[in-house]
Structure 1
Amino acid sequence: MTEITGHTRVWAILADPIHHVKTPQALNALMRKRGVDGVLIPIHVGADDLSGLVSGLRTMRNLGGLIVTVPHKTAMVALCDEVSPAARAIGAVNTVRREADGRLVGEMLDGAGFVAGLRQAGIEPKGRSAYLAGAGGAANAIAFALAEAGVSRLTVANRTRSKCEDLAQRLAEAYPGFAVEIGSPDPSGHEIVVNATSLGLRENDPLPLDADRLTPDQIVAEIIMQPETTALLAAAKERGCRTHPGGPMLACQLELMADFTEMRP
């Protein structure tokens, strides 16, 4: 695509806040590489306005699909006409395809992207214990993906305990016998520590866990992409931990997002 015309198809990413997103740059570059006459645009929308926006977007006949990120992944499930069994179990959607008749079909790719990013960096989750901060949309996807990848046990910690209990129950149903516990802000005793909350996007955010309990033998991973070094990763580095930024999770799911939303010439 050399310019936007009346033939150009449109994709959008929905977020609040929106300034940190890296997906438009990445997927627009991928579309150029594929020779797609299309563009992905950022849309800043709050939770209260999400339903109305999605209702309007589904009427756009040149809309290819949506990428959905913080804080809308969980709410997006109910706004789709159809979601995959995996996304239904996870309870969140981050990629949506618009069918020709206006129907919206959702999928969740965060978990697959996160685990692929770990493995690309030489971090194999199988057989390792994992601590997960968060129980929202991305955290749910990562929890299921870590269980699928074969972690030895998983501890989930979140300010709202009921969300942890709900996630633990769904994991137990999907993976009978899988060891999952509800934890505290203390991440000690785990080999892989993951922040799957939005804490770290804003400069004055509190840490998502008790970083004072981190030890040099732990791997600390983020899902936040901007800033690349969050306050948690900086604290982990100070304590001698190996760190893993949020960028690889997106990089490893770009092709999956493009294929699902039919970004093709």
Structure 2
Amino acid sequence: MITGHTRIYGIVADPIHHVKTPEEMNVHFAAMGHDGVLVPFHVRPPELAGFMDSLRGMQNFAGLIATVPHKTAMLAICDEVVGDAARIGAVNAVRRDPDGRLIGAMLDGRGFVSGLQAEGVSLTDMDACLLGAGGAGAAIAFALAEAGVARLTIVNRSIDKARDLARRVKDTYPATRVDAGLPDTPRRDLIVNATSLGLRADDALPLDDHAFRAGQIVAEAIMEPELTPLLALAYDRGARIHFGRPMLRHQIRLMAQHMGALPPSDESA
């Protein structure tokens, strides 16, 4: 039941049809007994700054989730960021404070790693390959290094962007060997797609080296479709696959906490 007391939350994306956050977060709100509702907003990049500015004066608006392609741009829009969002260079959760200030955080990486660990995957000493150096990719890169992968190779259309991300991760986690390079698919223990390739039916695969093998894990950050062409091909060739939705499920509580939907007594939970 939505009333005049209900707190409003949103998710902003372009396109918007694939997002799963509204159903996940609204179930979470109901389970918590929180009087809030999260709705989708389809906003194109040129209109993002104006849209966000309009939310500052909306007194019953509490927070926003940002996804493709807005995570990187959201960093500059926020008045303040917390955690490692500045190092990552992106924001995916925004809280609106009572004075209209927007406070950002980046939670994709923690959610992705928690999703793998919940399925019994130990990342310690893995040789990992990350496809994509955008907002989600950067968050996952930092989280993989924090989780203890031995080697991380970042593959991106812009090699300079991949090298910049590799440098930032290496500076923070010097024990991990981090480079920009090629997929070299057969040698990897873990391959992660953090690009948007796979959202649309006519998308190309996010890598050219398709030599997947048994014993490796191929994971997605994309949630819809659940079985992307990359995962389908990897599965057919014997690899273990990991869907994108666990990344969201394992950060829902973190998002709710950042946006102020959890009671103060639960903030450390």
Deviation (angstroms), 1:177: 4.3
1:146 is paired with a residue of what secondary structure?
A: helix
- TM-score normalised to structure 1 length: 0.97
Alignment correspondent of 1:244: 242
AA aligned to 2:186 is: S
Deviation (angstroms), 1:33: 1.2
**1:97-149 Cα deviation digits (max 9, x unpaired):** 11000001000110000000000011111111100000000000000000000
Deviation (angstroms), 1:85: 4.1
- CA distance in 2 between counterparts of 1:218 and 1:152 reads 15
Alignment correspondent of 2:111: 113
2:192 is paired with a residue of what secondary structure?
A: strand
Q: Does 1:31 align with 2:11?
A: no
Alignment correspondent of 1:195: 193
- CA distance in 1 between counterparts of 2:160 and 2:196 reads 19
- CA distance in 1 between counterparts of 2:108 and 2:10 reads 17
Alignment correspondent of 1:165: 163
Deviation (angstroms), 1:262: 1.2
- CA distance in 2 between counterparts of 1:22 and 1:211 reads 30
AA aligned to 1:113 is: G
**1:154-189 Cα deviation digits (max 9, x unpaired):** 000000111101101111221224311111244231
- CA distance in 2 between counterparts of 1:17 and 1:114 reads 22
Residue from 213, 219, 243 that aligns with 1:221 = 219
Deviation (angstroms), 1:210: 2.4
- CA distance in 2 between counterparts of 1:69 and 1:14 reads 6
Residue from 131, 134, 137 that aligns with 1:136 = 134
Alignment correspondent of 2:144: 146
- CA distance in 2 between counterparts of 1:7 and 1:188 reads 55
Deviation (angstroms), 1:217: 2.3
- CA distance in 2 between counterparts of 1:158 and 1:214 reads 19
Deviation (angstroms), 1:81: 0.4
- CA distance in 2 between counterparts of 1:249 and 1:24 reads 15
AA aligned to 2:227 is: T
Q: Does 1:99 align with 2:117?
A: no
Alignment correspondent of 1:231: 229
1:39 is paired with a residue of what secondary structure?
A: strand
- CA distance in 2 between counterparts of 1:148 and 1:38 reads 33
AA aligned to 2:47 is: D
Alignment correspondent of 2:266: none
AA aligned to 1:175 is: Y
- Does the CA-based 8 Å contact 1:187-1:210 persist in structure 2? no
Q: Does 1:60 align with 2:58?
A: yes
- Does the CA-based 8 Å contact 1:35-1:264 persist in structure 2? no
Aligned residues: 263
- Does the CA-based 8 Å contact 1:200-1:231 persist in structure 2? yes
AA aligned to 2:177 is: A
Alignment correspondent of 1:13: 11
- CA distance in 2 between counterparts of 1:43 and 1:81 reads 21
**1:7-36 Cα deviation digits (max 9, x unpaired):** 111000000111011100011111111111
Unaligned runs of 5+ in 2: 264-269
1:188 is paired with a residue of what secondary structure?
A: helix
- Does the CA-based 8 Å contact 1:211-1:235 persist in structure 2? no
- CA distance in 2 between counterparts of 1:245 and 1:176 reads 29
1:122 is paired with a residue of what secondary structure?
A: coil
Unaligned runs of 5+ in 1: none
AA aligned to 1:101 is: D
Runs of 4+ with deviation above 6 angstroms: none
